Structure 1
Amino acid sequence: MKLPAYWMTRPAPPPDRRTSASFDRLLEQALANGPDEPIDYRLEAPKWQFLCHAADRGRLLLHGSGDPAISRFEPRQPDDSSEFGNRRAVFAAGDGLWPMYYAILDRARHPMSLINGCARLANGSERLGEPHYYFSISAQALKQQPWRPGTVYLLPADTFELQPRMRVGDVSVQPAQWASPVPVTPAAKLAVQPEDFPFLDQIRGHDDERVWARAAADPDGFPWHEEA
């Protein structure tokens, strides 16, 4: 089974061994330095590849924000329609690309609704498929190009719980969302610019009222995609 074509995959193959080794060295140095200063990123490989590498190692989760100076993440109650997301918690992603979307969206200056997700195909085996992504914001906000510089925080995964598997249409998927019921202190952070996000030009625009109507009629129909 496959997800619909509007779900996107990572835009390049995994980094080669030499690049992965460079990522490992930078990551270990960043964790040793701590979160007070952003990672001094000077590698040729794009930042999103480094963040995906950090997440794929399994010991860290990532959180994107426009605030560059968060020293402690406190649990909060989001406005989320899903059972897992409708809880007071610190939320993070087991993926490097997804949190970049949150980091670069200027929601303070541009009110918008978000429809987004990152999930891997669950084919009944322990090994999951490659990550798939969906990114959309309110169409009126998209017209304003509501981008900003942001920060992706690397968080220790110890206190987090993984969202259970779910179905998207006829496909079983494993979402990349995790939640911690207790405060979390970041281990490191990386500054990002809108142009660092490889899906910037693929962020879709949706009509809020139509999406709400579709969601009310079919609560399990995420992401309630509608072709233009």
Structure 2
Amino acid sequence: MKRKCPKVKSLLLRLLLFRQTRPVFTEEEKTEFTRLYDRIIQDGGIAPYDSSYPKFRFLQYLSVTKPLLFHGSNYQGIEEFEPRRQTLFDGTYTDAVFSSADGIWPLFYAVLDRSGLTGNIRNGCIVSRRGERFYFFSLSVESEDRYPWTEGMIYVLPRDSFRQASEGKLYFDEWVSEKPVKPLFRLKVSPEDFVFLSRTTWHRSTEPLFKTYLLYKWRSKFGKRK
């Protein structure tokens, strides 16, 4: 039975959350993204993005070809990240800098305007050993009367001081560093760059977490907020 559990969990995630397989890139994308990276890494600072390809594809390409991680924030002038008290996906406290190897999940944090939001935020990127990624994004319905999106920044970080916060056949794509980290460069993003913008749903803050998972795809498809 234990050997079947990961397969059962993976099947359940496919039913409840949005799934993406390991990204595959065309030769044109590889050439374009290599050109962009070579230019950006020399200049540093805010990266000028002049490609017609979506920014999340560029981030995905960097994730699988370079030892880099990503941190999304509304703050656009961070010169160095300092470890601070935060919670991991399982609620455990840690003093660290957080990042992710995923090219989509950090975009949520970059463009979500949390100032003025009430209730809680439920989201994540769960990864399988086969390279599948399962996403969910939901906001408390108590904040539905305000527009929750804004422009933000993706900070591209060196991976050397980070470690994965969890391991296993299914795990959240969280990386932590107990040391200060300086970004290599940053990429300005807008809500339109977040590919799950229209698939972000609403839940009541008192709703059990399992119910949010259970109803996530249904709410996303039919625009149900409660």
What is the count of residue pairs matched by the alignment? 206
CA distance in 2, matches of 1:201, 1:14: 24
Q: Which amino acid aligns with 2:165?
A: Q
How far has the Cα of 1:175 moved from its partner?
2.1
1:80 to 1:39, Cα distance in 2 relative to 1, 3 A = same
Pick one of 101, 104, 120 that aligns with 1:97. 104
How far has the Cα of 1:224 moved from its partner?
4.9
CA distance in 1, matches of 2:185, 2:118: 29
CA contact (8 A) 1:72 1:183 kept: yes
Give the structure 2 partner of residue 204 of structure 1: 201
How far has the Cα of 1:51 moved from its partner?
1.2
How far has the Cα of 1:13 moved from its partner?
6.0
Give the structure 2 partner of residue 173 of structure 1: 170
Q: Which amino acid aligns with 1:99?
A: P
How far has the Cα of 1:147 moved from its partner?
0.3
CA distance in 1, matches of 2:14, 2:23: 21
Which aligned segments of 4 or more residues in structure 1 are displaced greater than 4 angstroms?
none
CA distance in 2, matches of 1:11, 1:147: 27
Alignment of 1:67 with 2:75, yes or no, is: yes
How far has the Cα of 1:5 moved from its partner?
2.2
Give the structure 2 partner of residue 187 of structure 1: 184
CA distance in 2, matches of 1:131, 1:80: 18
Q: Mark the runs of 5 or more structure 1 residues left unpaired by the alignment.
A: 123-127, 167-171, 215-220
How far has the Cα of 1:79 moved from its partner?
4.4
Residues 125-204 of structure 1 mapped to structure 2, 5 A cutoff: 128-165=130-167, 172-204=169-201
Give the structure 2 partner of residue 121 of structure 1: 128
TM-score for the superposition, normalised by structure 1: 0.82
Give the structure 1 partner of residue 223 of structure 2: none
Q: Percent identity?
A: 31
CA RMSD, Structure 1 to Structure 2 (Å): 2.2
The CA deviation string for residues 54-80 of structure 1, in whole angstroms up to 9 with x for no partner, is 122240000000011000001111245
Q: Mark the runs of 5 or more structure 2 residues left unpaired by the alignment.
A: 1-6, 220-226
